[in-house]
Structure 1
Amino acid sequence: MPSPQGAPAKSAVVPFEPDASPSPLGSLDIPERWRTVDRSAHAPHIVAVPGEDGTGPVAAALVTARPHTAYLKIVDAVGDVPAAVEAVVAHARDRGLVQVKWEGWTASPEAAAAAGFVPLRPPLSPVEDGAGPDTGYVRWLCDGPGDEPPYYGQTTHFSCGAVTALVAQVHGGTLPREALDREAELTLWRDATNFPACEPVGLGVAVRRAWPSSPVTVHLDTDRPVMLDHYTEKEQEWRALLQRTSRTEAGRTGVPVDPGHLSLAAIRSAIGRREHVLLLVSLAGMQGFDVPHWVLCHGTVPGAVVIEDPWAQAAAGDTWVDAHLLPVPDPSLDAMSVLSADRFRGAVAIGRARQREVSVDEPAGE
C-alpha cells in the first residue's frame, strides 16, 4: 500500500541478480524480459517495498540507468505498482537525480499520469521488435528543460552526426517533423561523411549547405585531422585530405571554425540562446566502449545538460527511453567529450534560422 499522507514508501534496494536464490522478490511474479538481456552494464537493481507483516515485498521495480547520467529508469513495476513507483522516485531523490523514466511495456497512461509521469513522444524511427517499448514516460524531479524534441534513432552505425543535425533543425522549427526520415538521414550523411564517420568541420559545412539561413559555428581545438587514429597510415592519408578540403570549404562558405576549447559553460550559454550544440563524445563512459559518437545538446536542468542520443544498445536493455531527454551531469559530459590522446573537443553549434526577406512578387512560404 502507498504510504499515508503522501510519505514515501519504505523500500529496500538490492542489486538485481537474475539467478539469485532465494529471490529477494519472494512470491512476486516478474516478467521474463528481466532475464532475457544482460543489463549488468547499467547497474540493474531492485527497489522493493516490504509488506507490513514482514512476509516479503508487496511491490518491486527493476531499475537501471546508463552510467554517468542523472536519471533512473523503471523497466517494470510489479505487485502494488503505485507503491513501487513511489519508492523509485524517492530513491532517485535520495541520490540527487533529476529524472525518472518508465518504460511502457506494461505501464498504462492512466497509471503513469497518477504517479506524476507524462508520456514521451514516440520515436519517429521504427523500434525493432524487442529492442524497446512503443511507449515511455518521464517525470522530472526539477524544472524540466522545455520543449521536447522528436526522438529519431539512427538507422546505420555511422549516421549519428546527420541525425543530430536533423533533430536540431526539427526542434528549432527549421525542418518539419515529417521530413525527418531515413532518406533525409542518409542524404545529409552522404554530404557530411569522412567515410564512414562525420568529422566536425565536414558536418558543419554540410549543415550550412542544407540550411543556408541557419548560423553555424564549428568548434574544434586542434588543427590536425581527427577521428582517424584507428586507421592505418594509408587509410588516414586520404581521409585527412578530405578534412583539409572541408576546412577550405568552410572558409569559402563562411562557416567559422573556432580553435578555442568549448567549455561546458559556453554550451549552456548557447542552449540558453536557443541554439543547438552537436557534441562529439566517447561512448566509453555511458556504454563501455571508446567510440566517437555525436549527440545533441538541447536543454539544461540544474547540474546537467539534456541530450538526445540517436543510438541505444538494445543488447544491454538500453532503449530509446534511455536515449531520449537524457540528463548528463556537467562533469560527466565534460569528461566524455574530450577525445583521443591529444584531448580535443569537437562540436557544431547551430543558431536560430534567419528569416529570409520575401519580395512583394514572391509568394510567402515558397
Structure 2
Amino acid sequence: MEFVTPRRVATLPAFTEWAWVATAVDIDGARRLTTQTSTVLAVHDVDALIAGTSEPVRFSVPWRGIAAVSPTLDLAVFPGQHAVRAVDAASRTRWEHRHACWVRGCGKRHLDAAEYEGDRDHGHNGAGSAAFSADGRFVWALALTDVEHEEWLVLDAATGEVSARADTGTRSYGSQQLRHPAPGRMVLSVAERSGPPLLWGAFDGSVLTVEPDYTERLLLDVDEARYLTNTDDRDSLAVHDLADGEVLGTVEPPALRRPSGAGDGPTRWQCHAVFLNADSALAVTDENDELAGRNHHWLVDLPSMHLRTIRYPKPLEGLPLPLGGGRWLTGARGVGWCSEGAKARPPRIWEL
C-alpha cells in the first residue's frame, strides 16, 4: 500500500473539558474552527490559532448540542430537546422556536428546560439539527411536530419566524444538515427509524420543496461541486456530481491483515469522509484497523479514487476535520469530540 507522510503545522493546547470540534465557513469562504464545551462555544480564525494570536468569538451555550454559526459570526443557533435557540455574541437570546420534545415517547411542548431538568428519561440530547444557509439569511432546522412526525423548517435568521415548512416523512434518532453552496438549498442526512435517509431541500423564498432520496447511501460531505456518500453496510465510498447526483467514482475499503485475536470481519469505511481540497478527500476505515496496527486515515485522489494511507509520526485517535487550504485537524475522539484534559493527545493541524 502506498503511503504519504503529512507535515505537522501546529499543536494546539489540549482542551480542559470535553469539547465538540467542527468547522464553519465565514462570508469570505475562509475556514473557522469552532470548539464547544458545556458552557462556551468559541469560533477561531485558523491562521490566528496557528500563530497563537487567536481572539475567538464566544457564545454562551444554553444546552448541549451541535451548534451552527452564522457566516458573519454574529449569531449561533443551538438545536435542543424542546427548542431551537439563537444566541448572539453578547450571550443574549435573539429568538427561540419551540417544538415537541425529542425524547422518545414524550412529545410535549415544554416552555423551558427546567420542566424536565433532572428527569432521567430526558437526560440525553435531542435529535434535532440546524444549519445556516450559504448567505446567512435563513436557518434550516429539523423539528418534531409530535411524537411521530418531523418537519423541516426554514427560519428567518434575524427573527426566528417560520418562512417555510415541509413534512419530511421521517422519524429519526439523529440527523445532520450539510450546507449546499446555493443559498436556497440544503441537504439533510437522517439516521432514521423510518423514511428516506437523505433529503434535498429547495427554498424559493416562499415555498420549501423536499426531494427524498432513497438510494440508501449516507451523505458524508459536500463541497462546491461534489458530494461524498457511503453505503449502509459501509463497503463503498463514492464521489458524486452535485448537479445531478452522477457517480464520478467509487472505492472499496482496503483489505488489511488482522493480528491473531482481532477477528476476521472485513474492513469497512467509517461513516466519515471529508473533502480536503479540489483533488482529494480524507476517509477513515473502521476501528478494527487499530487492532491490526495499521493507520486508518486514507488520502483519496479524486475522481480516480486511488488510495494512499496517511502515515503519521505516531498513531493517532479520532477523525480528521478539514480546516481549508489543504489542512486538517486530528486529536478528536468520536465524531468531533476533542481531548479531555491532559489524558488525551492534544489536537494537531496537518497538511500534505
TM-score, L = length of structure 2 = 0.29
**Rg: which structure is higher?**
1
TM-score, L = length of structure 1 = 0.29
Structure having the larger proportion of residues in strand? 2
